[in-house]
Amino acid sequence: MLTVDKTRPVGPAGRISRVETLTLGTAWRDFSYVRVHTDAGLTGVGEITHPYRARETCQLAEAMAGRHLIGADPFDVEEIWLRMYQGDFLRGGDVGGIVVSGVDQALYDLMGKALGVPAYRLTGGACRDRVRVYANGWYTGDREPDAFAERARATVAKGYPALKFDPFGAGLGELSRAELRRSIDIVAAVRAAVGPEIELYVEGHARFAMHTAARLVRELEPFDLGWFEEPLPWTHIERYAELRARATMPISGGEHFHNRYEYARLFATDAVDIIQPDLSMAGGFTEVRKLAAIADQHAMVVAPHNSNSPLCTTASVHAVLGMPNFKILETFDGLLEDYVFDAVRGALPVVDGHIDLPTAPGLGVELVDEVFAEHPPSHGFWNMFAEGWEKRDRR
C-alpha cells in the first residue's frame, strides 16, 4: 500500500511523470508552488508557501516526488496522502504539512482537468453560490488609532464585510499598561470608523499569558467582535476552554496544526468555537474536509486561514463551497502587487467582499513562468515579535 503500484489500471489523468517547484518574490512574502505533470499531458498546481522556509518546502517536494509520486495515479488521493505522510515518517510539522497540502491541491487540479469539471465538484459540490471573504494585511503601516481607522474605512469601501487585524504590536506574554491602552484604543478607533455592521476579528498570534488574555477578553467585550483569534500559545492548549468560558466573543484558532492528528487535542479539549485550518498547511482538500466534518461534530464552524497567494485563495474557495459549516474565508489578496495575479493566471478575483462560483476545470489556475523569472524570491524575514513588525518590512 505504501509503494506506487504501476500495475493498477490508470485513471483519465494518466500517471505522474514529473514534479517541479517555483517561487515568486513579493513585498509580502515569497510564494512557493508545486507543479505536477502527468504522462497524459496534464499539469496540476498547488501552493507550498512557507513564510520563511521556501527553500526547504521546495526541496522536500522535489525529494518526495521520487519517493512517492512518480508513476502514481493522481486519482488515488487518499493513498498518496498516506504514502507521503506515513511513508515519509513526517509525523506532522510545518514543512512536511505544507508539502503534503500543496501536492494534494495539485492532485485535485489534475482530477478536475481530466474530468472537465471544477475541483469543487469533487469535494462535495456547492452549498452556496459564492464565498464570503474578509480582508487581512490592510493595516500595514503606523500603529496608531487614527491610521488604523483611516485604512479600515478605505478597506470597507472596497466591499469587504469583515476585517481582521492585530492591534498589539510586539507584545509577547504580557503587555505594559501603556501598550494595553494603545491596543484597545486601536480597536475602538476601527470599530468607530467602520460602524456596527462590519464584522471585526482581532488577531492574538498565539502569544499571550493566560492572565493577559483574560484581561483582553474583558477589555475587548464592548466592541462586539466576531472572534478573538489565538489569544494563547498552543503549548497551553488546555487553557483555551477556560478562556472561552470567560469570553463573550467566540475564540478561534488552529492555523498552526497540519492534520487531524495534530488537531486531536484541540477537538478533545473544545479549545475553540471556530477552527481555522489552512488549505496549504493542514493537508489540502483531502484532510481539510475531514477537519470540517469533525468540527461539525463539536458544533464548531470553519473559517479557513489563508495568508498565502491568490492560488491558495482560489483553492480554498473550491474547498469551502461544499462545507455546510463554513463561516468566512481570509484573504490577503488586496495587499499584493499586480504581477502576482499575472503569475497565477486564472486566480479568482474578490468582488465586493465575495468570490463567485468557479467554472474552469480543476482549480482554473496556471503558473506563468516568465513572471516568476522576473520576480525571484528574496528569502527575506520579518520578526513579528519585534517592534514595528506591522509595517511588514522584510529584511
Q: Give the catalytic positions in this structure.
A: 205, 305
- Label the pairing between strands 199-203 and 162-165: parallel
Are 330 and 306 in contact, with CB atoms under 8 Å apart? yes
Sign of CA dihedral 356, 138, 250, 314: positive
* Phi, psi torsion values for 134, nearest 5 degrees: -125, 160
DSSP string, 181-237: HHHHHHHHHHHHHH-TTSEEEEE-TT-B-HHHHHHHHHHHGGG--SEEE--S-GGGG
- All three cell numbers of 188, joined, read 475602538
Alpha-carbon distance 63 to 17, whole Å? 14
Q: Compute, in degrees rounded to 10, the torsion defined by CA atoms 154, 304, 225, 221.
A: -140
What is the SS3 assignment for 13? coil
DSSP string, 354-394: EEEPP-SSBT--EE-HHHHHHS--------TTSTTGGG---
Alpha-carbon distance 175 to 218, whole Å? 15
Alpha-carbon distance 187 to 167, whole Å? 7
169: left (phi over 0), alpha (psi -120 to 50) or beta: left
- All three cell numbers of 116, joined, read 472537465
